[in-house]
Structure 1
Amino acid sequence: MRLKEIQRTAHPAWSPAPHHPICLALGTSAQQLDASFNTTAALEIFQVDFADPSLGMKLKGSLPTSNRLHSLVWVNFGAGEDGLGGRLIGGSDNGTVTVYSPEAIVTSGAEAIIGQSDKHTGPVRALDFNPFQSNLLASGANDSEIYIWDLNNFSNPMTPGTKSQPPEDISVVSWNRQVQHILASANPSGKAVVWDLRKNEPIIKISDHSNRMHCSGMLWHPEVATQLVLASEDDRMPVIQMWDLRFATSPLKVLENHTRGLLSIAWSQADPELLLSLMVSCGAYDASVVIYELPTTNQWCFDIQWCPRNPALLSAASFDGWISVYSVMGGSLEAQQQSRADQISSSFDTMDPFGTGQVLPPLQVPQPTPQTTLVAPLKKPPKWVRRPVGASFAFGGKLITFESPKAPVQSPQPVPVPRQVFVSQVTTETELLQRSRELQAALQSGSLSDYCQAKIHKAPTDSEQDIWRFLLVNFEDEARVKFLRLLGFSKEDLERKISTCLGKNLQPNGHGVDANDLAEKIQLLSTQVSPGTNLFILLYAPVVLDADGLISQALLVGNFEGAVDLCLNEGRYAEAILLAISGGQELLQKTQQTYLDEQRNSISMLISSVVTQNWGDIVQSCALENWKEALAALLTYAHPKEFAHLCETLGSRLEGERTEKRCLQACLCYICSGNIEKLVECWALQRDCSSPLVLEDLVEKMMVLRKSVERLRNSEVAVQSPILADKLTHYAGLLASQGSLATALSYLPDTSDQVNTTSHSSSDTLSTRTCFKCVLVFQRHCVFSLLDRVQTCNNYTPPAPITAPVMGGFPMEGHHHQPQGQQGHDPSHTQQFPPGAPQEPNVQVRDNLVCVSPCQFWSQNTVGFLVSGYQLVIGRPTSNPCVSLQLLQALPAERVEQREIPTEHMVLKQTFDSLVQRCQLAAQDPQTKRKLEDASKRLGYLYDKLREQTLSNNILGGLHEISRCVAGQNYQRGLEVHTAVVTSSNFSEIQAFMPILKVVMTIANKLGV
């Protein structure tokens, strides 16, 4: 496709490859005249600017010359560091070789001619510069004259050897592209001579045996040092011959496609398979076929060249006086033939050319119709388009690379070259992988205590050490006592301080009262009756109105409440407490509260909380500077069912300060409560978890705390929190990108739709899973204590063990016990037993179930039961198990009907059931249908809690708001309310139904129901 053109009768020369922008030098051609018969000569430089859509080229500089040129080359010798400049060398028709400065021509400098020599006796038709040493230039003229010029010393050229005989014109000279001291020359008779400049003599002569080869061009192969081509200008033999000096008896290959003689050839240095010859056509010399044909002007071309900088460009000079720039990459060009009428009009002045006083009318010239020329692209992509190397990253930190090796250049025939693709593992986060391997090894081996110890030693800060110390305690016995020690409250140190304060030598015995010492003291006790005293003589209640008298009279008549009030009024608090003990539990509590209300000192609130066991006020109102004291009080006194919630409340207050110090303190509270989600949120609050190592720190703490919770509950803790899932997913992605795929997979759930299936509603009765006949006993708090294991029926499957939620707390001192195959009464907490105490199985039913089976269910070791009223008393084993069964069946039991949902909450059941039904009717995907079936079952947990009225007001308000959003099909708002409820509520209360409620709203929003 033609890109640029300019009307000049000249020889072109491209700027060197380092030169930018691309320029084209034009020297007026000798022995040719244009239509104006202008005999002047000039050397011009044009900029080839493809940003300009026009076909013209911008003139950068011009230099008038005294001689016309037969040849012109532009070498890189003398160019600056930016690649600009160089040297222009022209061979004129009078035998002069002139060296020009392109910079001087562009800047219109006076010193444009750097050197000039007239050593040649005839026209200089051949010029070529050495590709290895740009200062060496070869020139050829008449009488077999060949000179080698050094541009550093232009006045003294050298000859390659003795002139060849008989003397002939030198039509072309060419330097070898692989060996710098090899030069070849050719003459019109078809003979080519190869010169060795080191020996200054010809080493081989090549000629066609038919004697019809008139050589117009000769070029060396760009890659194979021993191969060259010769072009014939004879119309009787318009061929291109390829010769190999190793087989110089005959041409290696002959390219035949032209119908007339060839005037010029050019071999692409960027792709050796592209050989350019005039008509213009591109031939693949290996295949000996024409792969590209480009139509030029209507006249023949006498010079053609590849652009050194842009390998897709070529220039062609034609005999009709046009220099054109083409691209071999194909395309279409709507080329309009230039109107000769425009040139005629511009030659005459239309105002008054003949002085007649009349203006000539406009010249009416018919406009030519545009001619669209479609140029097909190359049949084979050129080599410069092919990527020499390539790389691409793949999943798992893999780097895929390839390269295109070069074929052996000395082989006369193409040899297949093996292509290889390399797969490499790229690792950029070595420390992350090392720490990940250490964590994974600890998780798999269970040596988390040693892992925590190592992290404590490596911790860079004190706060980091504190966190790992608290995590370590979770894997040790007597966790609460050790938490207190970490907070700075040691029982032994406190006893020493009290002893010092009281001046006594307290030696506490950790094992209680010594038995031998107690026996000795009992023997020393006297059994004689003590003599009477005057105690009762002093017991006199005079009828007076002072406080002592009134107190005495109140005691004598048994008015404990009045006596206590009198003591409190007199400030005699100890006596008031003592009397209140005798007056009953209600009076004692009232007296304690009165005393606590009147006392306002630094420890009154603590004493009040210890007495009343109301630790919520301490957690909510204590100063945050005293967070250690508040946490220590919870560790000492809080009930296991309340401990986790109270620790989280204290942690939330600390986290609300939004400072790094308070967030670290809040993390300790969350570790004590075992709340993994809160720990992750608080830790990420002050840190950028996008950093791999920061995320590694977080995952280490998350996984260690998760394992400690699983250890205490004997069950796996499922990842259901969005923030936990997000962090673990990001962490797994990092590991996968580093090639640790197996480790990354271990942090992901087994299924993408994993839901919590650990809770069981009361609707899942044992009758659906066992052969037992289940009877609901009206007595709700009956506990079965079995001394022997009960053999189950063959078709009985024990219930699945409970998986405690993340919100659960840590135990008090003592051993952890959970019977296998049985469920705790409260799934949010763990039943605790002191050391050595009898361990009783838990029964998780809303109303106690008495399971009755056939007689063969019992073994001889079965415990017998004696039934008394509604209480079950353990009796000794009986030899007749059927008697026990009869007694058990005769138990007066009353069936309990399922309670109704309160009227104010019935709208929740109606709305959510209706939503599930609409989604089931619209769903087409089997997976979606399975989710909706599961939703129908799991919403039963919500309805059970509504019947039991165990949900807090905050949760109920959020559910009603969600119901209103569902009724209005505003599911986006419903999801926002859902998120707010989950965030602000105790997850253990809502974990059974809130996740599936979100799934149903998401499906409804997707289905548009």
Structure 2
Amino acid sequence: MKLKEIERTAVEVWSPANNHPIYLATGTSAQQLDASFSTNATLEIFEVDFRDPSLDMKQKGTLPASNRFHKLIWGNFGNGSPESSGVIIGGGDNGVLTMYSAHRILASKSDPVIGQTEKHSGPVRALDFNPFQSNLLASGANDSEIFIWDLNNFSVPMTPGTKSQPHEDISVVSWNRQVQHILSSAHPSGKAVVWDLRKNEPIIKVSDHSNRMHCSGMAWHPEVATQLVLSSEDDRLPVIQIWDLRFATSPLSQLEGHTRGVLSVSWCQADPELLLSSAKDNRILCWNPSTGEVVYELPIRSQWCFDVQWCPRNPSVFSAATFDGWINIYSVMGGNLEAQQKTQADKISSSFNNLDPFGTGQTLPPLQVPEQVAQTTLIPPLKKPPKWIRRPVGVSFAFGGKLITFGLTKAPGQQTQQTYPHQVFISQVTTETEFLLRSRELQMALQSGNLLDYCKGKIQTAKLKYEENLWKFLKVNLEQESRTKLLKLLGYSKEDLQKKITSCLSNGIPDKQTLPEADDTNTAQPDQLLINSSDDVAAVSSSSAFFDNLIPQNMSTLEIPVTEDTDGLISQALLLGNFEGAVELCMRAERFADAIILAIAGGENLLKETQKRYFAKRKTKLSLLLSSIVQQKWQDIVCTCDLQSWKEALAILLTYSKHEDYTQLCDMLGSRLELEGDASLSNDACLCYISSGNVERLVECWVKNHETSSPLAFAGSHRESDGAEQVH
């Protein structure tokens, strides 16, 4: 797709790759005349701004020249200073070679010509800078004349060796891209000579045996030092030959696609698989030299393109100079021409003041354009992704020291026509030999399942106590009853603890817990100041529930004693889950509260047994009541309570007894009041029967308590009895 264009009958050259912004220099061509038949010469520099969607390029510098140009080249010489933009070398007629300062031209400063020589005897058509030493320039002219110039001393050139015979024009000179002392030159006869500057002589000559090869272009392979291409301008042999100097008897391969002679070639330095060519058939082709395939083709133009050049900084862009006086810049990445055509139409429309050129207030009638055949506005890109947008290599580590890599395989020079499949390489990376041995040992233990022996071996070979303990813990985790064995590794054994408890209980070791001494003064304790009654206790308990759930900010450090006194033995018993032993120690030390709390954690049976022992030891006024309520012995309360406290007994039954037992317990209390109590208590028995709902016993008790010798009373009692039966 076309990106930029400029109307100039000129030769062209790009600015070096390290220059920014990108510039294009043009010099009036010595081989052509424009429409004005002017003989003047001009050197111009244009800025190539791809951000600007228009096709125009901005002129940044211009300089009248004394000679027209056969060849232009732009090098990095002098680029060390921040103001320098390199030098432009122009080859003109009569052997004139001129060196210009690009910075002075761009800045419109005086004296832009920094060097000029006329050592050549004819027009200078071939120029090239050494890619390794920017001060070395090769030039070629007539009579097999080749000079090597040191730009630091532009007056005295060197020669690569004796002139080749027979004498003929030099079409192209080119430095090797891999070896700095190798230079090649090409002649119209189709012969190419390779020079070794260290030996100061030609080392090899290649030529086509058909004698139809009229060489118009030459380029070295960007990566393979022994390969180069030669293009033929002869219409009888419009080919591009690929040569390998290791097999210089015949071309390695030929690219055949043009129908007329090839005028120019350019090899992309960013991707060796892209080679541009232009020919007399008005076509510009982009080849893959490795396969011979055409991967890109520009639409056919009406004029020959005599020069194509890749942009050094932007590898997807190239320039093309044609004999009709235009220099165009294209992209090989494809694009859409529709937007470009619309922009051009808008530009023309604005030039005619919206189709009212004479300011009459009336627009011109619409132009009747004949219907045209629809043209494709989409230009396809390269058939393959170029090297600069492909991922060149990739790497990833896998488990077990595996390294997965892929990369672009370079094909040997003699097999460039073969396509190589993409390959992925898996390699083993070994950095720690000892670690790998241990890894294999562990892997074998895992596969065999014999991890216990593996742990035993590690315990035996452990050098540090910490490592030994670590492998012991791992070994115990693989065994049965691992928790018990882990406790033993920690130094706690249930058997040893039981012996200590038995010894403590038999020897009567005193409790060493320090208790606060009683104060003889009548100073009130904090809890006495805050809580004065049972109602206060309930109120405070409900109100402080929120604060009880808060985590204290300054909690004291938890200390776990493991001494031989009572506290230490209780602590060890708790560590091993021996609640029975801990409760026994607390009971022996008369620490009943601790015993009850531990018994609750130890289970229902231990709690019952502890409660029983506590009540057996503690004989107080409330002990029997507490024992009965805690142990739910409601029948004992009914049978043993003082009859004067029958109301309290009935209240306990109402509060605690189960519904299925309540009736029987109330009847038992009523029977006891009826049998053992006096007349008033006997009457109270009726209340117990009412509470139980036993109407028959109620009636019997009532009749018994109200029997009289009076017939009237007797009759009344019968009536009441009848009423009770009806209720029942």
Question: Could you say if the C-alpha distance between residues 616 and 314 of structure 1 is closer, same or farther in structure 2, counting changes exceeding 3 Å?
Answer: farther
Alpha-carbon distance in 2 for matches of 1:450, 1:310:
74
1:812 Cα shift?
12
Alpha-carbon distance in 2 for matches of 1:275, 1:451:
76
For 1:512-661, list aligned pairs within 5 A. 602=526, 604-605=528-529, 617=540, 649-650=547-548, 652=550, 654=552
Does 2:392 match 1:494? no
Q: Which residue in the other structure is 1:12 paired with? A: 12
For 1:672-751, list aligned pairs within 5 A. none
Which amino acid in the other structure matches residue 304 of structure 1?
Answer: V
Q: Which residue in the other structure is 1:206 paired with? A: 206
Alpha-carbon distance in 2 for matches of 1:811, 1:374:
93
Alpha-carbon distance in 1 for matches of 2:56, 2:266:
24
For 1:701-850, list aligned pairs within 5 A. 813-814=582-583, 831=603
Preserved CA contact (<8 Å) 1:20 1:83: no
For 1:382-401, list aligned pairs within 5 A. 382-390=386-394
Alpha-carbon distance in 1 for matches of 2:538, 2:202:
110
Question: Could you say if the C-alpha distance between residues 105 and 403 of structure 1 is closer, same or farther in structure 2, counting changes exceeding 3 Å?
Answer: farther
Q: Extract unaligned runs of 5+ from structure 1.
A: 353-357, 426-434, 453-471, 479-490, 503-572, 575-597, 622-645, 656-661, 673-709, 715-809, 817-827, 841-867, 872-893, 897-1009
Which amino acid in the other structure matches residue 302 of structure 2?
Answer: N
1:372 Cα shift?
4.7
Question: Could you say if the C-alpha distance between residues 445 and 104 of structure 1 is closer, same or farther in structure 2, counting changes exceeding 3 Å?
Answer: farther
Higher strand proportion (structure 1 or 2): 2
1:182 Cα shift?
0.8
Alpha-carbon distance in 1 for matches of 2:583, 2:536:
21
Q: Among residues 415, 424, 444, which one is paired with 1:419 in the alignment? A: 424
1:188 Cα shift?
0.7
Preserved CA contact (<8 Å) 1:97 1:117: yes
Which amino acid in the other structure matches residue 71 of structure 1?
Answer: K
Q: Which residue in the other structure is 1:253 paired with? A: 253
Cα-to-partner distance string for 1:343-364 (whole Å, 9 max, x where unaligned): 9x99xxx999xxxxx99x9999
Alpha-carbon distance in 1 for matches of 2:114, 2:315:
30
Alpha-carbon distance in 1 for matches of 2:100, 2:129:
15
Q: Which residue in the other structure is 1:42 paired with? A: 42
SS in 1 for 2:241: strand
Cα-to-partner distance string for 1:694-752 (whole Å, 9 max, x where unaligned): xxxxxxxxxxxxxxxx99999xxxxxxxxxxxxxxxxxxxxxxxxxxxxxxxxxxxxxx
Q: Which residue in the other structure is 2:274 paired with? A: 274
SS in 1 for 2:55: coil
Cα-to-partner distance string for 1:223-268 (whole Å, 9 max, x where unaligned): 2111111101111111111111121111111111101111100111
Cα-to-partner distance string for 1:852-883 (whole Å, 9 max, x where unaligned): xxxxxxxxxxxxxxxx9999xxxxxxxxxxxx
Alpha-carbon distance in 1 for matches of 2:364, 2:303:
28
Q: Among residues 407, 410, 424, which one is paired with 1:407 in the alignment? A: 410
Which amino acid in the other structure matches residue 54 of structure 1?
Answer: S
TM-score after normalising by structure 2 = 0.60
Question: Could you say if the C-alpha distance between residues 268 and 813 of structure 1 is closer, same or farther in structure 2, counting changes exceeding 3 Å?
Answer: same
Does 2:115 match 1:115? yes
Preserved CA contact (<8 Å) 2:394 2:405: yes
Q: Among residues 316, 319, 334, which one is paired with 1:315 in the alignment? A: 319
Which amino acid in the other structure matches residue 410 of structure 2?
Answer: A
1:303 Cα shift?
0.6
Question: Could you say if the C-alpha distance between residues 599 and 85 of structure 1 is closer, same or farther in structure 2, counting changes exceeding 3 Å?
Answer: same
SS in 2 for 1:420: strand
1:654 Cα shift?
3.5
Alpha-carbon distance in 2 for matches of 1:158, 1:653:
94
Q: Which residue in the other structure is 1:541 paired with? A: none
1:176 Cα shift?
1.0
Aligned Cα root-mean-square deviation (Å): 5.4
**Count of matched residue positions in the alignment of Structure 1 and Structure 2:** 524
Does 2:235 match 1:228? no
Cα-to-partner distance string for 1:927-981 (whole Å, 9 max, x where unaligned): xxxxxxxxxxxxxxxxxxxxxxxxxxxxxxxxxxxxxxxxxxxxxxxxxxxxxxx
Alpha-carbon distance in 2 for matches of 1:812, 1:75:
98
Question: Could you say if the C-alpha distance between residues 711 and 74 of structure 1 is closer, same or farther in structure 2, counting changes exceeding 3 Å?
Answer: farther
1:142 Cα shift?
0.8
TM-score after normalising by structure 1 = 0.45
Question: Could you say if the C-alpha distance between residues 247 and 815 of structure 1 is closer, same or farther in structure 2, counting changes exceeding 3 Å?
Answer: farther
For 1:956-967, list aligned pairs within 5 A. none
Which amino acid in the other structure matches residue 289 of structure 1?
Answer: E
Question: Could you say if the C-alpha distance between residues 620 and 362 of structure 1 is closer, same or farther in structure 2, counting changes exceeding 3 Å?
Answer: closer
1:439 Cα shift?
11
For 1:889-900, list aligned pairs within 5 A. none
Preserved CA contact (<8 Å) 1:263 1:302: yes
Q: Which residue in the other structure is 1:136 paired with? A: 136
Cα-to-partner distance string for 1:163-185 (whole Å, 9 max, x where unaligned): 11221110101111111111110
Alpha-carbon distance in 2 for matches of 1:362, 1:115:
58
Preserved CA contact (<8 Å) 1:266 1:305: yes
Alpha-carbon distance in 2 for matches of 1:654, 1:207:
98
Question: Could you say if the C-alpha distance between residues 387 and 492 of structure 1 is closer, same or farther in structure 2, counting changes exceeding 3 Å?
Answer: same
Preserved CA contact (<8 Å) 1:5 1:57: yes
SS in 2 for 1:384: helix
Question: Could you say if the C-alpha distance between residues 652 and 326 of structure 1 is closer, same or farther in structure 2, counting changes exceeding 3 Å?
Answer: same
Alpha-carbon distance in 1 for matches of 2:402, 2:532:
68
Cα-to-partner distance string for 1:862-909 (whole Å, 9 max, x where unaligned): xxxxxx9999xxxxxxxxxxxxxxxxxxxxxx998xxxxxxxxxxxxx
Preserved CA contact (<8 Å) 2:580 2:606: no
Q: Extract unaligned runs of 5+ from structure 2.
A: 431-465, 499-510, 561-573, 586-599, 613-632, 637-657, 661-728
SS in 1 for 2:142: coil
Preserved CA contact (<8 Å) 2:42 2:63: yes
1:111 Cα shift?
3.0
1:442 Cα shift?
7.0
Alpha-carbon distance in 2 for matches of 1:399, 1:57:
54
1:94 Cα shift?
2.6
Question: Could you say if the C-alpha distance between residues 613 and 203 of structure 1 is closer, same or farther in structure 2, counting changes exceeding 3 Å?
Answer: farther
1:295 Cα shift?
1.8
Preserved CA contact (<8 Å) 1:13 1:24: yes
Preserved CA contact (<8 Å) 2:395 2:406: no
Question: Could you say if the C-alpha distance between residues 365 and 48 of structure 1 is closer, same or farther in structure 2, counting changes exceeding 3 Å?
Answer: farther
SS in 2 for 1:105: helix
Which amino acid in the other structure matches residue 182 of structure 1?
Answer: I
Alpha-carbon distance in 2 for matches of 1:203, 1:365:
70
Which amino acid in the other structure matches residue 514 of structure 2?
Answer: L
Alpha-carbon distance in 2 for matches of 1:330, 1:159:
44
SS in 1 for 2:105: helix
Alpha-carbon distance in 2 for matches of 1:53, 1:423:
52
1:92 Cα shift?
1.2
SS in 2 for 1:241: strand
For 1:61-72, list aligned pairs within 5 A. 61-72=61-72
Question: Could you say if the C-alpha distance between residues 199 and 423 of structure 1 is closer, same or farther in structure 2, counting changes exceeding 3 Å?
Answer: closer
SS in 2 for 1:298: coil
Question: Could you say if the C-alpha distance between residues 833 and 232 of structure 1 is closer, same or farther in structure 2, counting changes exceeding 3 Å?
Answer: same
Preserved CA contact (<8 Å) 2:15 2:25: yes
Preserved CA contact (<8 Å) 2:291 2:419: no
Question: Could you say if the C-alpha distance between residues 420 and 82 of structure 1 is closer, same or farther in structure 2, counting changes exceeding 3 Å?
Answer: farther
